[in-house]
Structure formats: C-alpha cells, structure tokens
Structure 1
Amino acid sequence: MACNNCSTGTTTDGVPKGCGNKGSCGTGSCNKLTVFDWLSNMTLPQGQEPFGCVEVRFKNGRKEFFRNPEKLALSIGDIVATEASPGHDVGIVSLAGELVKIQMKKKNVSVDSELAKIYRKASQKDIDIWSEARNKEEKVRMRAREIAISLNLEMKISDVEFQGDGSKATFYYTASDRVDFRQLIKDFAREFSIRIEMKQVGFRQEASRLGGIGSCGRELCCSTWLTDFRSVNTSAARYQQLSLNPQKLAGQCGKLKCCLNYELDTYLDALKDFPDLDTKLYTEKGNAHCQKVDIFKELMWFSYENQPAHWHVLSVADVKEILAKNKQKIRISAIEDFVVEATKEVEKNFQNVVGQDSLTRFDQKPKKKNNKNKKRRKPTNFKNGPKKE
C-alpha cells in the first residue's frame, strides 16, 4: 500500500519518487492492516479520560498493545519508544483512543493483563539510531542466508528485524522440519555482534510479512486485510468445480489460496439440493453415471457406461424424478427422454454484439486493386538530367 506522497512526482527516469520510508512513514496509508479511526474527530464526554492503551506498529505490520502510564498525548503517526527486553524498541502509533479497546477484544487481549509500557515520545537521537538499524537489515539478511547455506541447514531466512536501539535482531525463518540452529546462532553473534533471536513463522505468515501482488492483480489479502489464516483443503476446489492444478490453486506462500474459502459456503448451500456426484441412473438402455455438474444452472451431465464420451444434460428436478422411480425399482426407458426439456432451457442464441466478422477474416488474401484506368508515371532519368520539352 502507498502513502499519500508515494504517487506524487517522478524521477528523471519516470519512476514515482514515493515517500522513501519503505513503510515506516507516519501518514497511516503505508501501513498494513490499518484500522480507520472514525472517532478521530470526536471529543470525549466531559470528565472521561482517554483509554490508557495504544496500538503500536513495527516492521511489516507487526502490531502490539502498550500501556500509557505517563498519559502522554499520543495520536496516530507519533513515533514512540516502548519497553523491550532488553533495552527499548521504537515504533509508530497506529491506533489510539477507544478503538484500541475493540481491537484488544478482537485479539483476545485482556485490558487488565500485564502490558509493556511506553517510555516516551522518541527523540531525534532515538530516531537516528532506529533509522541506522533499519538500513542495515537488508545486508544482514543476505549475509545471514549465506551463513545458513554454508552450514547446510534446510531453512530459509525470510526477514530480519532490528530492535529500535540496535541491540537485538530478530531473524524470521521458515522450515518444513525441525532445525538445529545452535551453531547458527553462535556464528550470527560472532558475525554481527548483537543479541540474536530466532523466530519461526509459517509460509502464510511469511507471505503476509513480505507482501506482494496476487494472480488477481491486487495486493495479497494476507498483507492488507486478512487477520486470521484458516485451513484450506482441496475439497474447497472440488466443491467449486475447479481443476486441481497446483500452479493455479497455490498462492505465493506455496499453499492453497485463502480466497478458495470466500465463496465456499455459497457453493455448499447450492449443493444441498443436488444428488450425490456418484449417483447412478438405471435405465433399460443401461446404467448412467454423473460426469459433470453446473451448480448455479442446476444441471447435471450423465453418460452411459458403454458410451462414456457421449454426455446428456439433465436438470436436477428430472434427476430426482428418475431417482425416485429407481428407488421403486422402476427403470425408465432412456435418459434421452428427459434431455429435450433440459436442453431447451440452456439453448441460447448468441449474437455478435461487438460487431466483428468471423475469426478467419484475416486468412483471406486481399484483392488486388484494378489500376488499369490510371496512367502510369514514367520514371525520370536523372542520369542525363531532366528531359527538356
């Protein structure tokens, strides 16, 4: 997401200038999973004190709740120094006021629980140390990957986050199995001379932290508005009649896309009135198996056992009628008797609304124009000069 200044102005090469803060600006629009403070222009009732906790955002959308014991006048975008272990951390206030209480309830954080404190508003010295530490993160991440590869560890270091005072660095990594990184921590401490903390994250959490553009052309749901990661099964694709192609169903995290669950409930409700997909129709001509289903048109395609390539389309109501007869041990003559009414419903007269001709119109060679009536112009001989009349 871009802040208010990211789209203004371009460089000499035509590239947008942007704010240059890489997500650490205080405008609020650069932040991931930002909550709109619709109470910002409203004043509290007389005698009521503001809520004593605030939400502070750190790198890549990591947010935590802190208590404000000094009752500092904090607003969204203020840079504050918070309690950490050890030392202090620096973050940006992402939400303040009564909405913090609602967010804490959503995150199952008790108001009476022990929360870390906000020390003060960050001074210029704190901001300078914080900015210097943030600038080192990319180099440290690349060097950390080289050390992990040299130790033959099956892990991927996806991100590095320095603490605001520069005394500690958190290395986020993904791994499919358990990793013994005791020697890795020693090498990191010797190489970077800081306190090391390793934190394993899932593949979905990694994509959420790093962000990106999905196949739909929009930013990833997990990095913009999705707050919880529900399990996604291949059955969700089967219910929606999607082809089980891993390359199309997998997201940037390598797992099944979260959006497969968005419309799943609608499909499940529609499938309640459908017979089972393994339904058989018993006819005098032979047994017929279900091959395909159109959920929203309420159509089902059947084929005989001896003619699997020849499909017949039936409506769901007709299929239920045939099943009711089969349940009474009555065989119908053939399913073709029910196809006529079903096909009449789906037959549509498609017209060319774009105004184009057939697709083979470019295959025809253009006709040569007849220029017999036009007089040919004799070429001028410039070698001996223009002809004098």
Structure 2
Amino acid sequence: MGCSSCSTVKDGQPRGCKNNGTCGTDGCNKLTVFDWLSNMSLPNGEKRFDCVEVRFKNSRKEFFRVPEDIPLSIGDIVATQAKSGHDVGIVTLTGELVRIQMKKKKVAYDDAELPKIYRKATQKDIDKWQKCRGKEDEIKKRSREMAILLRLQMKISDVEFQGDGSKATFYYTAEDRVDFRQLIKDMAKAFGIRIEMRQIGYRQEAQRLGGIGSCGRELCCSTWLTDFRSVSTSAARYQQLSLNPQKLAGQCGKLKCCLNYELDMYLEALKDFPPQESKLFTEKGTAFCQKTDIFKGLLWYSYKEDPSRWHTLTKEQVQEIIQKNKSKEKVASLEIYATDNVEREAALFDNSSGQDSLTRFDRPKQKKRRKKNNKRRRNPAKSSRKNA
C-alpha cells in the first residue's frame, strides 16, 4: 500500500517519494496501521480520543497524550516529550484506533505518566532533526571501530538520534554480557553527546535493519509482524522439511518465523495419521515407516530386511493393519495393499484433458535434410528428370 507521492508517472515508471521509510502520509512505512475510520465523523457530543501514535526511526512507535488546543492528523511532524529534552516523530494514527492499539499493546490510556506532545514541529526542529539523522551512519561506523579497538564482543547494529540532537541510542547485539563503560566514555568524548546503550536480540536487529527474505518479499518482522514467537525444530519436522540450517534460518540467523504459519494446519492433519514410529507386523517381516505425505494421505513402509524398497500405503490401510496387529493377527505382506495403490495412481493420472507430455521438448528435432531425402524417395520420377 503506497502513498500518493509513490504513484506512477505517465510512462508507467514508479515515481517514488524518496523518503526512505519516513513517508509523510504513512502509506508505505514499516508496521503501518490502516485507519479505516478516517472518513467517518464523530457522533454528536463525543470528543476525539486524546492520544496519538507517533513513529520514530524504523519500527519504534510510542503513544502520547495530546493537549486539546493542538489538532493533529496522520503525517504531522511533532515534538514529543522525552526523558531529557524533546524528540521528533511522525503521527501515524489518531482517533479511536489508537485506543484499540493501546489496549492491544497493554498500555493504559488513563496513565498520568503517559508522555505528552509539546507542539507541532517547527521548521527549525525539522532541520535539526534531519541534520542529526544525516550523521547517524558516520557515527555508527566510528563507534564500531572503537568497539573493535577495545576488543569488545559486541556488534553495534543501529544508531538513533534524539530529535534535539542531545542524545543518541546505540543498539547492539552480543552473546554474553559486555562491559562497555570505557566505550561510553570514549564515544561521549568523541561525539559530545549523551550515550545510551540498548541491547536487542537478533530478531529485533533484523526488524530494525529490514531486508529481503528467501521468498523474495520484505521481511515479515519489518513490515507487519509485531510479536516474536519461539520457533523450534519440531515445526520443521511436522512439515516434513529437511533440517538444513541454511534453508531454515532467516536473516537474523534464527529459525524463520514463517515456519509457524502453517504449523496448526499440519498438526490438525496429522491427527488422522498413525504415529510415525508405528511398526507393521506381517508374515514376511516387520515394516517401518520411511516417509509420509500429509496432503495425499500416503505413507511409505519398508521391511527391516530390505530397507531400500518402499511400499506405498494409505493411512486407512495402515490403521487397518495396526488394528489387526493389536488383535495378534498378521497380514500376509505389504505388497497386497501396495498393488491396489499402484492401479489407483495409474487411473488417477490419466491424461483426460488432452494435455501434452512434459517431456515433449526433450525429443530431438529432425533435420531438414532428412525431410528432403524422404521426398526424393517418395517421388523418384521427379528426381530423375532433374538429373536429366
């Protein structure tokens, strides 16, 4: 969902607002919320909700109380209250939806200590804010060099300046606890500002930095995902995925959050399947499960003596054999059930729609010379006249 300034031009090329994630109308920002009540007027006698949602750098959002004499709308740049001084951000949500968002994020809207909005940002505030934002990359580079010189086992991933330029927050990731007291002294002396160090996890780091996932789209954590649920390797096992860290790990180095998206559907489907470790006792020998296809409802079993040869069974057939084994009755062999499944598959994949074979392009093309030779063989009289 793009903003109005991101629309296409006459030749169909995207114009682009060139705001780099700080869109004024909040149409193409990270973790944006669609205001579906924006075109609706308040009932008579109702007052507008006195809190707004303000977005700062990347995905950081906070709620602020608005004085009655300051009318605000989405996209306004405001000066907000901070622990010391003031900060500058963009209003991303107003009205009753702010109440819903505060309830969702467990923020009490009747809290007396809720920070306030001072005023709409003046041009002087905006110029100072943009000047500080322009220095963040250089300061991040220098701070990383200082951390390397001090041999600290940490990675400074992002720097965020306060709107008035008096304070900077350094976000870092580390495996263990880091003693960065000397680093703070060196940075405060070099930059001339107050320093705050804030440790974040690897998933939060990927959320702040953003990127493109293996699916070709932007990372879920930087666009719409707000909570990070734990992802275990059992989620990959239930979905019959190979436990390959290079394929299952995301940009953060942890297991991908999308492994949990379809997990409930797989667990619901697996309720009708026999256990993976179930054994089938036949007169020919004991069989073990090698593979499961949840969507087709098929299982592949092989004998203990011949594990390389698999036999295809349906889940109903496996449950039938298990019930017979419980009553101490053995079936003759798995081939009896497997032959029925082979006949069903042959009838199922019949080319009834008249589609061509997928291997039709693999056939070698006949050369034109062969066609000419065939014509000469069919009409020997014409070829003799030409020679005469």
Normalising by structure 2, what TM-score? 0.90
Counting aligned pairs with the same residue, the percent is: 66
1:96 Cα deviation from its structure 2 partner: 0.6
Find the aligned partners of 2:43 and 2:7 in 1 and give their Cα distance: 39
Q: Which residue of 2 is the match for residue 101 of structure 1? A: 99
Q: 1:322 to 1:243 in 2, by over 3 A?
A: same
Segments of 5+ residues of structure 1 without an aligned counterpart are 374-389
Find the aligned partners of 1:80 and 1:254 in 2 and give their Cα distance: 37
Moved more, 346-355 or 212-221: 346-355
Q: Which residue of 1 is the match for residue 122 of structure 2? A: 123
Q: 1:259 to 1:151 in 2, by over 3 A?
A: same
1:3 Cα deviation from its structure 2 partner: 3.9
Q: Which residue of 1 is the match for residue 385 of structure 2? A: none
Q: Which residue of 2 is the match for residue 4 of structure 1? A: 4
Indicate which of 361, 364, 372 corresponds to 2:363: 361
Q: Which residue of 1 is the match for residue 241 of structure 2? A: 242
Q: For 1:61-113, what per-residue CA distance to the aligned partner results, in whole angstroms no more than 9, with x for missing partners?
A: 21000011344100000000000121000000000111100000000111122
The reply to whether residue 341 of structure 1 matches residue 340 of structure 2 is yes
What pairs up with 1:66-77 in 2 under 5 angstroms?
A: 66-77=64-75
Q: Which residue of 2 is the match for residue 284 of structure 1? A: 283
Q: Which residue of 2 is the match for residue 175 of structure 1? A: 174
Whichever structure has more helix as a proportion of its residues is 2
1:30 Cα deviation from its structure 2 partner: 2.7
1:319 partner letter? V
Q: Which residue of 1 is the match for residue 41 of structure 2? A: 43
C-alpha contact 1:52 1:71 (8 A) present in aligned 2:
no
Q: Which residue of 2 is the match for residue 383 of structure 1? A: none
Q: Which residue of 1 is the match for residue 331 of structure 2? A: 332
Q: Which residue of 1 is the match for residue 80 of structure 2? A: 82
Find the aligned partners of 2:234 and 2:357 in 1 and give their Cα distance: 42
1:62 partner letter? R
1:94 partner letter? T
C-alpha contact 1:283 1:333 (8 A) present in aligned 2:
yes
1:313 Cα deviation from its structure 2 partner: 0.6
Superposition CA RMSD, Å: 2.3
Q: Which residue of 1 is the match for residue 300 of structure 2? A: 301
1:8 Cα deviation from its structure 2 partner: 4.2
Find the aligned partners of 1:15 and 1:188 in 2 and give their Cα distance: 44
Find the aligned partners of 2:79 and 2:327 in 1 and give their Cα distance: 78
The reply to whether residue 27 of structure 1 matches residue 29 of structure 2 is no
Segments of 5+ residues of structure 2 without an aligned counterpart are 377-381, 383-388
1:100 partner letter? V
Q: Which residue of 2 is the match for residue 231 of structure 1? A: 230
Find the aligned partners of 2:356 and 2:239 in 1 and give their Cα distance: 31
2:360 partner letter? S
Q: Number of paired residues?
A: 370
1:360 Cα deviation from its structure 2 partner: 3.3
1:9 Cα deviation from its structure 2 partner: 5.6
Q: 1:350 to 1:145 in 2, by over 3 A?
A: farther
Q: 1:15 to 1:168 in 2, by over 3 A?
A: farther
Q: 1:15 to 1:192 in 2, by over 3 A?
A: farther
**Which SS does the other structure have where 2:311 is aligned?**
strand
C-alpha contact 2:50 2:68 (8 A) present in aligned 1:
no
Find the aligned partners of 2:13 and 2:39 in 1 and give their Cα distance: 36
Normalising by structure 1, what TM-score? 0.89
1:248 partner letter? K
Q: 1:74 to 1:354 in 2, by over 3 A?
A: farther
1:331 Cα deviation from its structure 2 partner: 1.3
**Which SS does the other structure have where 2:205 is aligned?**
helix
C-alpha contact 2:52 2:94 (8 A) present in aligned 1:
yes
Find the aligned partners of 1:310 and 1:357 in 2 and give their Cα distance: 27
Find the aligned partners of 2:83 and 2:51 in 1 and give their Cα distance: 19
